[in-house]
Structure 1
């Protein structure tokens, strides 16, 4: 069977990953339209303007996904490309104070004209690419060696610290867990992982106690928001009209929805009660309008993609592909877990969007690149195994 290079690669698309992506993006466009329409109408703007923008973001992001899927995966393993990506990411973070755009009181975005880009969202993806290349040099699992992995450790810690100093403590914590999981997959002792997780919990508990019990005058002003967020996490209704306004109204939205929801477009809390109903809190609007059952279906689609990526990471015989699958899956898992966890009050509010559903081009673009990389790895691997036909499951 003869076929062109383009045709042969298209034969190996993993629809277990691609179909949920399409479904979630379509649901996202609908929910952006529904959740933003009232505020846009109140501002005398077109009720579909944000939904149209989200459609443009989806088309652009899918185009980038296709581009990443088509490139030779070996390009992403070359040291020059890796360090170029790391350098550009670091440069964009450094330039934020000078060219950054302030959104919601935080100066974490760069206006690219087409979309607002958040450099800290690119860091986890670039680190996945870097660590997958760095940790797979031997192509054999072996006990973790600090001397051998000294550079990956320092590069990871370097970016974690810089993201935390933006300030973006939630993003830095997410990157820390992502890096820890990749090091565990490379042969890091599970005992070390357990100690790290216990330490993480102890630090969280101790930090919460210190922030809420002791004077916080010593904290730099830009980190003052941490106190408020920990207070709201402890009691979402501590100040329903002030610091707890967002979280308490998110609770009301989820309560209103019940099992079956009020119906698409019938949300009460989006009518001026819940700030940012189309971004950070869009999942609360999903529950209110579509109900708990349908919203659990949305979560199922996301975690199905995560499970698929982890399964591919376990099944593959090449360490590089394994690290890519596990890194991409963990990145997606952390983002949805942090968004829903902060919505339910298990962790402080973070500002992370719900994958593929929330309004905005930056998050959708990065996650599309993540998925495109995983699809590329899958297709490349399957083409090596089944050179003349579509791959297996």
Structure 2
């Protein structure tokens, strides 16, 4: 029987929440940025239009990735080129990247400001999915098989952390750990990394808050402020705690039903990064607690759907792809909201599909495009005799 055209297998349970979140993000970015742009004598809709343009490009890329053959992304040549390019971009960013807030995380590629560390998650998603799915199902886990992958992932974590971007490095570490666990890594092997990860976090918190930190390199001095604010967001509402305190005020102002689109108060010069890192606080202020919960549920619905596809998939490579895509979304939204609420130090991680920023939206759209591609490809593949018997 002739296979149907690929577009008939498009998974709308993933695409529809994506479209709703992106369109809502464009509206929120326009609302959150218009006041500041007005006083900067710039068109109040400039950031909104840029976000709309980024969405259009990202949607085209998503559909382009969806239409391509998955074997291209799985080929050794493509993965080698992607891994090498990402490593070069990270090294270049450390030496000649755009510096903002004491961190060098961005490079100017002409039509957009790109953050190479955001590409790492996509790069390792494709690499680890191929590497873990190539191992035979009955083959026991061995460090000799995973040694190269672990060293490569460690190199990426170090390069991202040195920007400095410790939150990004921690997210990559957790992502790699989850992918390896899903591939058959015994939970006993994860005890040491998890204990070490928690120990480093707790130890770092105690050391930074205990006294003098003159020994700390200047580029990591911001950690002291971040941990102090995490311990008490209102420690200095007009100084180091200004961002966190303003975010809490924004969420308080929103109440249950919100003040309405465009009627937020904290974006009017009080809440920094109201259209990027703190856009979820802006969303709650203007859409209310109910609106904020709906946005969270849309993201978590996508995550649950991806995990469901991972569990049900009969192809190990597709299963790892679904798992990795869901984990990337889960980690990003969890870190963003947790830092907003003060459970972890401020990180600078954006809210998926809502925050202003072309590189974040582009990478996440490509990630979703891969998941949609894997789903459609799996549905179009002929059913084997073994699957019919099941």
The TM-score range, normalised by the shorter chain, is over 0.9
Output the CA distance in 1 between the equivalents of 2:99 and 2:71: 37
Verify: 1:59 aligned to 2:30, yes or no. no
After TM superposition, the score normalised by the length of structure 2 is 0.95
Post-superposition CA distance 1:42-71 (Å, at most 9, x none): 112111111111000000011111111111
Output the CA distance in 2 between the equivalents of 1:175 and 1:63: 27
Output the CA distance in 2 between the equivalents of 1:101 and 1:147: 39
Q: 1:141 to 1:13 in 2, by over 3 A?
A: farther
- Further displaced range: 139-148 or 353-362: 139-148
Match of 2:272 in 1: 275
Match of 2:193 in 1: 196
Match of 1:153 in 2: 150
The answer for unaligned runs of 5 or more in structure 2 is 385-390
| Offset at residue 138 of structure 1 (A) | 2.7
Match of 1:391 in 2: none
The answer for unaligned runs of 5 or more in structure 1 is 388-393
Output the CA distance in 2 between the equivalents of 1:123 and 1:338: 17
- 1:152-301 to 2 correspondence within 5 Å? 152-301=149-298
Output the CA distance in 1 between the equivalents of 2:112 and 2:287: 29
- Further displaced range: 129-138 or 211-220: 211-220
Output the CA distance in 1 between the equivalents of 2:179 and 2:138: 12
After TM superposition, the score normalised by the length of structure 1 is 0.95
1:77 to 56, 74, 77: 74
SS of 1:108's equivalent in the other structure is strand
- Further displaced range: 134-143 or 169-178: 134-143
Post-superposition CA distance 1:142-164 (Å, at most 9, x none): 43211111111111111111111
Output the CA distance in 2 between the equivalents of 1:195 and 1:300: 33
Verify: 1:44 aligned to 2:41, yes or no. yes
SS of 1:46's equivalent in the other structure is coil
Q: 1:105 to 1:210 in 2, by over 3 A?
A: closer
- Further displaced range: 45-54 or 200-209: 200-209
Is contact 1:142–1:187 with CA below 8 Å preserved after alignment?
A: no
CA RMSD of aligned residues (A): 1.5
| Offset at residue 141 of structure 1 (A) | 5.6
Aligned residues: 384
Output the CA distance in 2 between the equivalents of 1:370 and 1:337: 17
Q: 1:297 to 1:353 in 2, by over 3 A?
A: same
Match of 1:317 in 2: 314
Output the CA distance in 2 between the equivalents of 1:243 and 1:141: 54
| Offset at residue 41 of structure 1 (A) | 1.0
Verify: 1:131 aligned to 2:122, yes or no. no
Q: 1:333 to 1:344 in 2, by over 3 A?
A: same
Verify: 1:13 aligned to 2:10, yes or no. yes
Output the CA distance in 1 between the equivalents of 2:222 and 2:230: 12
Output the CA distance in 2 between the equivalents of 1:158 and 1:34: 40
